[in-house]
Amino acid sequence: MKKISILGVSFLSMIALVTVMFFNSCDEDACKDVVCVNGDCVSGVCACDLGYEGTDCGIKSVTKFVGSYSVIDVC
């Protein structure tokens, strides 16, 4: 009778271990909900193409320098 209960406990323990390993081994895709306009998603963060920046790579880097400037040159 002891052999049967030891085998039963061992079997149930093995099933519990396999179940826990099965459900914890599934990795969710970090890039599932990330949209990168001009770049690629790497580990949940956008890696922007050259010339773009921002959280979604939607901003041209040159736009922060475009505008009107007033310059006075004194010699």
Q: Where are the beta strands (DSSP E) in 1-75?
A: 39-42, 45-48, 52-53, 59-60
So what's the pLDDT on residue 34?
Answer: 92
Of residues 6 and 72, more confidently modeled? 72
> 24 exposed, middle or buried (CB, 10 Å; 0-12, 13-18, 19+)?
exposed
pLDDT digits (tens, 9 = 90+) for 52-65: 999 999 999 999 88
For the chain, the structural domain boundaries read 2-64
Q: Which residues contact 30 (CB under 8 A, 6 or more apart)?
A: 41, 43, 44
- Phi and psi at 52, nearest 5°, equal -130, 155
Cα separation, 47 vs 10, in Å, equals 49
Q: Is the pLDDT of residue 75 over 60?
A: yes
Residues of the chain with pLDDT > 90: what percent?
43
Q: What is the pTM of this model?
A: 0.53
Of residues 40 and 12, more confidently modeled? 40
